[in-house]
Every structure is written in C-alpha cells, then in structure tokens.
Amino acid sequence: MRDLSAGPRVLLKRLRELMAEPLEPQERLDRIVRQIAQNMVAEVCSVYVLRSDGVLELYATEGLNKTAVHLAQLKMGQGLVGTIAASARPLNLSDAQAHPAFTYLPETGEEIYHSFLGVPILRTGRALGVLVVQNKAMRNYREDEVEALETTAMVLAEMVATGELKKITKPGLELDLSRPVSIEGNSYGEGIGLGYVVLHEPRIVVTNLLNEDTEHELQRLAEALGSLRISIDDMLSRRDVSMEGEHRAVLETYRMFAHDRGWVRKLEEAIRNGLTAEAAVERVQSETKARMIRLTDPYLRERMHDFDDLANRLLRQLSGYGAKLSASDFPSDAIIVARAMGAAELLDYPRENVRGLVLEEGAVTSHVVIVARAMGIPVVGQAAGAVALAENRDAIIVDGDDAKVHMRPVADLQRSYEEKVRFRARRQAQFRALKDVEPLTKDGKRITLQMNAGLLVDLPHLNEAGAEGIGLFRTELQFMIASTMPKAEEQEAFYRNVLKQTGGKPVTFRTLDIGGDKVVPYFRAAEEENPALGWRAIRLSLDRPGLLRTQFRAMLRAAAGAEFKLMLPMVTEVTELKVARELLQKEIERQSKLGEQLPRKLQFGAMLEVPALLWQLDELMAEVDFVSVGSNDLFQFAMAVDRGNARVSDRFDTLGRPFLRILRDIVRAGERNDTPVTLCGEMASKPLSAMALLGIGFRSVSMAPTAVGPVKAMLLALDADKLAEVLNAALDDVRSETPVRQLLVDFAAANGIPV
C-alpha cells in the first residue's frame, strides 16, 4: 500500500534545505515552485503575493509564461486567486474554467490547464498571498495533496513575513504586510498608548508527533505538569498579586485546571496511544477547543481562554520555548496584541513596560480586561483581525478613548497622537492641581463628586482623583472573578478592606448585580432570549434570598461601628424594596441577638434604572434614604436601545429632550420628598453631559476616577443658575428643534467653560 505521507515529508525536507541555501529571493522562489511541481506531479506551480494596494502579483511560476512574472495581477476577490485570498480558504477544482469566478489572464498562457488547486498563504490567519498548482487533465486533488500544499504555504508565509521578498518588489510598492491599518473595536479601558507591537503568540507548533519511548514521554509530562503547578503557586505567592486580591481568584482557577485529574488522564492516554507529550497536549487542547468554540455562553468561552492559556503554558514547559520576548528584547513601550489571553499571562509581562492591550476577543468583564484596567492601561477589545495584521515591533497606537487601533501609522497620524498624549499629560497635571479645591460652582452651588469602583485596585484612585467618596461600588466583580461562590467570611473581609482603604470616606455598596451578561461560574441560569430584561440583579436576589441575606450579613459585619450605605439594583416596583428591607431587618435582628456590633448609621437606597419607577417616584422616595440613577440602563430601557448593539446604540442622544426631561422629573421628586438623589452612570463622566446634569438640578454625581478632574474644572467655571434658566427653557419649549447638545456646546463656549 502506498504511503501517502511520504511525498509531503520529502517535499518539506527539500524546502527546508532550499530555505537554508544562500540564494537570492527570486531564485529561491523559482526553485521552490519547481520543487513543488515536481513533488506533486503538477504541470504548473505559481506563487501570488498580496501587495498593500490590494493587488495579487505573480511572483514566481513553473509552467506558466515566465514573462508574466511581476506583470500578471489580480485584485483581491478577482478570479480564483483573488477569491482564495479574500476568503482565506482553498479551492480544489477539476475544471477551473467552469467556475464562475474564473478570470483569464492571457499573458500567463494558463488556458490549457483544467484542474486547479489553490491555497492561501496564511500567517496568523491573515492571507499574504496564494499558492497554486494546475494540471491539464481534469482531476480532483486528494486530501493529502491539499494538506501538503497548505503546509508548504506556511514556508512561503515566513518568506513574506521576514521581508525577504521586499528585494524583488517593484520600486514604490509595498507588500500588504507593511501597509498602515486602522481597526475599530470596543473601548474596554480609557487612555492612549503609543508603542510597538508585542504579539502574544503562546501557541507552539508541534512537529514531532510520534513517540519512541512511551514511559519517557509520560515522565516528561509529569515533570512539565509539576513545573507548571509550581509556577502558578509562585505567582499566587508574589507580593503584588497577594495585595491585589482580585488576581488571586483568577490564578486559583488556573490552579484548579492544572490539578484536574480528568485532563491529566486524557493526556496520559494520548501518550500511551503513541503521541509525544507535546502532541498529546495539542491533541487534547484541540479536541476541547473544538467542543467549546461553538458555544455562545460567555462564561464557558472565558473558561476556554483560561484552558487555552494553561495548555499553552504546558506546551512551553515541554518544548522549552519562551513565547515572550526576553527582558532585554522587550520594548520599553510595548503594546500587547492578542487574539485572546488569560489574565495570568498579562501579569507575566513586565508591567512597567506595557503601554496598552489589544484583543480580538474578550469582553469588558473578562478576567484579562479586569486586570488590564487595574494596571491603568488603555484596552481596545473586539479588534477584528488585529493579530493577523500585526507583526512584532510594528509601530502601533491604541486609542482607548475612541476605541481605535492604528498599526504602522503614517507620520502625520503619529505626530498628531504624540501631541494628543502631551496635551493629556498637561491636562492631567492641571486636574491634579484641582484635587484639593472645593467643588463650588461660580454661583456657589456645592457639588458632591464621587467615583465608581468595584475592585480593591480601584481604591488608590480615590485620593489621587480628589473624589469625596465612592458613589457606586459594584460588589458583583468580586463574584465574577472567583471560581467558587465567595463565602460570607470572604465577603466580609473584602468589604472591611474596602472601608479601611477609603479612610472613612463614604462608600455606597450596590448589592449583587449578576445575571444577564454578567455571568458567574458557579451560578448557572437558563439561557434567556433577552437577558438584559431577564432574571438578573434584585429579581435573582429575591428569588434566592439566602444569597442576598449572606451579602447583607457580610456587609453589616464589615461596617460594624461605621456608617454604611447600600443600594439595590434593577428595582422595578417599590414592593421589591419592602421585601428586601425585611430581609435586611432579619439580619440586623440576628446580629443584635448574637451581641455583634452593628453599623453606627445605615442608609438604604435604590438604583433607578427601570422606567416603571418613574410612575412610582413619590412612593419610592418615601421608602428609601436615597436614590441613585443608573443612567446607562435607564437610557437603554427608556429609549428601547441596546447599548451593546453598534447599529442602534448611538441612534438617540442622552442629551436629547426626552431623556433630560426624565432625569429632571427624578430630581424634582427628590426635592419635594427631601430625598437625596445622585447619578452614577456614564453621563457623569463627560464634562458636557455632567454640566447638563447640574443644569437640571443634580448636586451629586459619581463617575470614573479619571473624570473627576475634568468635571471639577468644568463646574468651577459654571454659573449653575444661569445654565438652569437656559436649559429648562429649552426643555419646556415643545416647538424648538434646536438640539439641546448644541445649546450646551454654545453655552459652554460663550461662558468660557472647559468641556
């Protein structure tokens, strides 16, 4: 029986030899296509390379007219070659000319050839060109021939990536790999980072598949697993990780995977079936990923990334391959570019050198994003194609403010961003100078500026920003990064630590807001068609009163002898507050019976996010000590706009008349009931929208830490009564078509207010 794998092995061996010979690029390419044609018994073998102008140029051929080299061209998507490049998928045709995409290039002389096999020349999923073989006879190429050609294309991808073909590229033209590219994604962390690409490529290509000594391979696996477990334990014991407690929960998940016997058993079984330790890891990793990759559940996808991270670490242990640059080679201004990565892998990089993070996948709540934001670096996620378009040490700009990534930026754009960074630095220095200035408007209105938080690593920003307290502490983040439900004692220690680090400044804890897209690993809910409107937040907590009572108990103990503020999210009816208050009262009575100290003062509040509460405002104000408006969800629900849907999220304006009238009604209800009202959504973080909030009567707002300085600079220059007169008149004028946003911009410009 013929060994079908012998041909490809011989071909690859010969290609490796050709790559090692001291040849000029054109001669090397010519000999490569000749070798492929001979090995595959093909009458034609051709290489097309993609240029930066989107044109595929014939760079070498065996069998077609030699005079067509560097002259024959096809646009991306044109002809069979262009179709392969655009789709990044092979084409295997017995009669190429019958295919609807076939385009005849008379200069090549290919009209006499019928069968056609073309594969994309890929690097990290990105098409750099196309490799083609052809024959006169009509035939379908075998599967092993397709695989052999795809493997051969990887060799050519390295020639393109190393820049070797630049020597034979026409003057004035560039290959696609070097063109400037801009990508739009989602902003997961504000700020701007300028630097050089460091590709996060932990995957090891395993070439040695079959073992010769099973026991030796089992021993290698055991030693590598031991080293892996020790490295995770070392990370857990590192001082900085221990202090930043959120990271510990992520690493504990890694430790759980590393000790999982089911995983280890599968690896050992694959080795006993004849694979090397490396091949066994790759096999099990591939099988696991194939099962999980089609799942849409965000928690399971996060687990897939954690598992991938761990498997890749094990491959590095086995192969001795260092996926990351050495300390001496690591740029001082690095932008990490990754398809997806685990949080622990980000912690492996030298923190002082990392200037930004770009992810093709991930979500704002994923582990790696939580850690990156804690590091204070800009993050852009959902940056489609970023890994394929980047090369190590490419210049890159990450704009976390506008959610854009610019690779190999042109000089003018680079200079523009450099000036923007310098301007931001000057502005931040000015804002820091305002840290201790009392937040009084020009006409003497005292404004309370607080910040939003959710992690221990957020807390140092409280004093740095000059905020007066934490107006929203998202307790769910502690739950989301833990692999198991935090026990009451762990929750208590966490809340006590928060109160201690804030140094007596007020903290408003929001009870657990999970469900919807906020997934926790140990609490699996049924899949919902519209999770934002589903079983989440207070609805979930009231259905699981034990969960809410445990959190109440931990909070009461943590706040013993101190002032304590808590609020409930996603309230729809006032009766929900009454039920929750009864549960809280039971915990207070329990603490008293046990003789435990209670908080000195307790304030009970509600988030106003659901429009139904707008018709219960007076009942709401009578039931609570304070109200906090969650403008993000309230706007989403009031305008029937999914803020995660890019097609409609910007369709309506938060500064439009309908929404500002809603917010004004809430403020007025607070005033007539003598109930404090604050706002803790994104609106408070932008100086212009914060100005509008002050104009309709808000005197307390909570925002991102970086927004405190800009908002304070705005209010110090604002005459609030003067703005209120202009703004209220605009909101009451039902005939006016002038956008309120424009009125606010004009008012700020006319009165010298920095927005």
Domain ranges of the chain: 6-177, 181-200+325-424, 214-319, 469-630, 634-679+681-695+703-755
Q: Is the pLDDT of residue 285 over 80?
A: no
Q: Is the pLDDT of residue 233 over 80?
A: no
Instruction: For domain 181-200+325-424, give the CATH number.
Output: 3.50.30.10
Query: For residue 751, what pLDDT band results from cuts at 50, 70 and 90?
Result: very high
Query: 354: which strand partners?
Result: 334
Mean pLDDT of 157-170: 79
Query: For residue 204, what pLDDT band results from cuts at 50, 70 and 90?
Result: low
Query: What local confidence, expressed as pLDDT, does residue 242 receive?
Result: 45
Both structure tokens of 604: 């009970």
Mean pLDDT of 659-672: 97
Q: How far apart are CA 259 and CA 271, in angstroms?
A: 18
Looking at the domain 469-630, which fold is it?
TIM Barrel (3.20.20)
More confident residue, 25 or 340: 25
More confident residue, 113 or 523: 113
pLDDT tens by residue, 530-549: 777 888 889 989 999 999 99
Q: Is the pLDDT of residue 239 over 70?
A: no
Active site residue 680: yes
Query: What local confidence, expressed as pLDDT, does residue 253 receive?
Result: 65
Query: What local confidence, expressed as pLDDT, does residue 510 receive?
Result: 96
Instruction: Specify which of 104-108, 164-168, 392-396, 672-676 reaches the highest per-range mean pLDDT.
Output: 672-676
Q: How far apart are CA 471 and CA 510, in angstroms?
A: 9
Mean pLDDT of 419-447: 88
Question: What does pLDDT average to over the chain?
Answer: 84
pLDDT tens by residue, 586-626: 999 999 999 999 999 999 999 999 999 999 999 999 999 99
Q: How far apart are CA 183 and CA 173, in angstroms?
A: 22
Q: Is the pLDDT of residue 683 over 80?
A: yes
pLDDT tens by residue, 442-483: 999 999 999 988 877 778 888 888 899 999 998 987 777 666
Mean pLDDT of 209-228: 84
- pTM to 2 decimals? 0.62
Instruction: Decide if 214-319 and 469-630 have a common fold.
Output: no
Instruction: For domain 6-177, give the CATH number.
Output: 3.30.450.40
Query: What local confidence, expressed as pLDDT, does residue 9 receive?
Result: 57
Please list the alpha-helical segments (H only) found in 162-297.
214-237, 239-243, 245-258, 261-272, 277-292
Task: Determine contact, residues 700/670, Cβ cutoff 8 Å.
Answer: no
Identify the active-site residue in 305, 406, 461, 680: 680
Query: What local confidence, expressed as pLDDT, does residue 109 receive?
Result: 82
Identify the active-site residue in 200, 247, 305, 367: 367
Q: Is the pLDDT of residue 290 over 50?
A: no
Highest CATH level, class, for 214-319: mainly alpha
Query: For residue 650, what pLDDT band results from cuts at 50, 70 and 90?
Result: confident
Q: In the β-sheet with 379-381, what is the strand arrangement from edge to edge?
A: 181-184, 404-407, 395-399, 192-199, 334-338, 354-359, 379-381, 186-189
